[in-house]
Amino acid sequence: MFALVLTALCSFTAQTPDLSKLDGEWIYVEDMTEGRTLEQLGPPMSGKFSMSTEPGAVILVSGHGSGNTNVRVALDGSHTQVPGATEGTYARYSGGWKEGTFTYNTDFVRAAGKEPEGLIKKEMSVTDKGLVVRVKLESINYEAVGLYRHPQDIEMPTPAKATINDLQWLAGNWAGTRGTGGSIAMEERWSPPKGGSMLAVSRTFSRDRLSAFEYLRILERNGGLVYIAQPNGAAPTEFILSELGENRAVFDNPRHDYPKRIVYELSPDGSLTATIGFMKGGTPRRYEYKRESTH
């Protein structure tokens, strides 16, 4: 009898999925979609998302789209219905686990009395390289695949040797415009290097009204430089100086969702370009500035 019970217990344990491997925060690392050009590379879903697990279910904590958080997706195929912003609308989730892959579907009722539409299918498989995420939108025959890892499993770049005086060319008041007719105005005001540091404040105006601000620092640390950004006063995010040229500085943080890379470059004509984006590919955002007159 004991042998039978032990055999049954071992069989049950073997069939129980090890969902705990899905736990935690996941950061986008690499686009694995076949046939994409360099400019098309990017995450198949959010650049950062998190999950937790419990017996028989996965909890979508954040970063899964549709604005819903802490959605419990049962693995038995049953539906979890989350109300939408207006009466009669909702998102519907269902999931399953097979051969080490967590799959969940999301579709939407966008008006009361309508049938669900816009099915999104996501497959997540834990591999030796990390979490492989495959996203399918069957209505438009779209598929994308990306690799994610826990932040602590993402290797940080080797710091470039530098002192704060190497960025003397960045000091000054910089201003630029974007948008139709220059409707968006931008400023970055960098202090001169002193005491192993440079400080800056950035402001963005949309139609003459403040729309964003940022506190910025560059500090000497362990023979290199660290760029610290606080957009709209948020918690600081650090980027390591990984490349340094005569008038070019590259700061990287592959553990951040977006941006992962910040590049400053001084052009021969005296203009400044700031570029933010992924470590590889995609379409980086470029911000162009002219030095403001001190008079």
Over residues 119-165, the pLDDT tens digits come to 999 999 999 999 999 999 988 889 999 999 999 999 999 999 999 99
Q: Look at residue 227 and tell me whether its pLDDT is greater than 90.
A: yes
Report the Cα–Cα distance between both ends of the chain, in Å, rounded.
93
- In the chain, the domains with their CATH numbers are 18-153 (2.40.128.20), 164-291 (2.40.128.20)
User: What region, left, alpha or beta, does residue 179 occupy, with left being phi > 0 and alpha being psi -120 to 50 degrees?
Assistant: left
- Retrieve residue 71's tokens: 């959605």
Q: Which amino acid is at 259?
A: P
- SS3 sequence, 212-255? EEEEEEEEEECCEEEEEEEECCCCCEEEEEEEECCCEEEEECCC
Cα–Cα separations (whole angstroms), residue 14 to 30, 89, 184: 32, 40, 59
E runs forming strands in 55-171: 57-62, 71-74, 80-83, 90-98, 101-109, 117-126, 131-137, 142-149
Specify the pLDDT at position 2: 45
Q: Which helix (H) or strand (E) holds 54?
A: strand 48-54
Q: Look at residue 3 and tell me whether its pLDDT is greater than 70.
A: no
Q: Look at residue 6 and tell me whether its pLDDT is greater than 50.
A: no
| Section 41-47 average pLDDT | 96
* Count of helix runs (H) and strand runs (E) in the chain: 1, 20
| Section 11-20 average pLDDT | 57
- For residue 294, name the pLDDT band (cuts at 50, 70, 90): low
Specify the pLDDT at position 56: 94
Percent pLDDT > 70 in the chain is 93
Q: Which amino acid is at 62?
A: S
| Section 3-21 average pLDDT | 53
Give the chain's mean pLDDT: 91
pLDDT digits (tens, 9 = 90+) for 166-222: 999 999 999 999 988 889 999 999 999 999 999 999 999 998 999 999 999 999 999
Specify the pLDDT at position 179: 86
| Section 234-257 average pLDDT | 97
Specify the pLDDT at position 16: 52
Specify the pLDDT at position 17: 62
